[in-house]
Amino acid sequence: MRYVIAVSVLTTPAFAAGEDGYSSYDFTSLFNTDFVVLIGFLLFLAILFYFNVPSMLGGMLDNRARQIRADLDEARALREEAQTILASYERKQREVAAQSERIVASAREDAAAAAEQAKADLKASIARRLQAAEDQIASAEQSAVRDVRNRAVDVAVAAAAQVIAAQTTAAEANKLIDNAITEVEARLH
């Protein structure tokens, strides 16, 4: 670094003796502002190097670089963790969607089965009610036929009793009563 400053001082146009009358002695004069600025600059660089400012700046930059690298590593780790969590949630979402589809399909199947069962139960109920109605009709028909027969028998017996009572005498009536008693007695024993 010192050589660069010396070379730059030697190559300045003010240092070289030119045609305008300046010589090397004039350049080193304290009245020459270029020389005063050069001395001030060299003094400034000397102070910087004395207090080890370049290494301090380098260390600060290295620390900052390490901090930035650590922050980047942490950000990368957080991003990977976030991607892992996202993938996990997406997988869970797919599983939940599949499960809900299975539940809906199962519910549809259950509803279809329940509808079929309800149809079968309704058909069975209608068949039972029709059978019960037919049985009631048949029973009512038999009861009506029985009632008609009984009434016909009652009417025939009453008519026969009137005809027999009008045509039979007391002796014949006694004979008929005795025959009926004998016949009943034979059937009961």
Label each residue of 6-45 as H, E or C: HHHHHCCCCCCCCCCCCCHHHHCCCCCHHHHHHHHHHHHH
State residue 186's pLDDT score: 87
Per-residue burial over 44-77, b if 16 or more Cβ lie within 10 Å, else e, is eeeeeeeeeeeeeeeeeeeeeeeeeeeeeeeeee
Per-residue model confidence as pLDDT tens digits over 31-82: 899 999 999 999 999 999 999 999 999 999 999 999 999 999 999 999 999 9
User: What is d(CA 179, CA 172) in angstroms, rounded to the nearest whole number?
Assistant: 11
Full-model pTM: 0.39
The C-alpha atoms of residue 112 and residue 104 are separated, in whole angstroms, by: 12
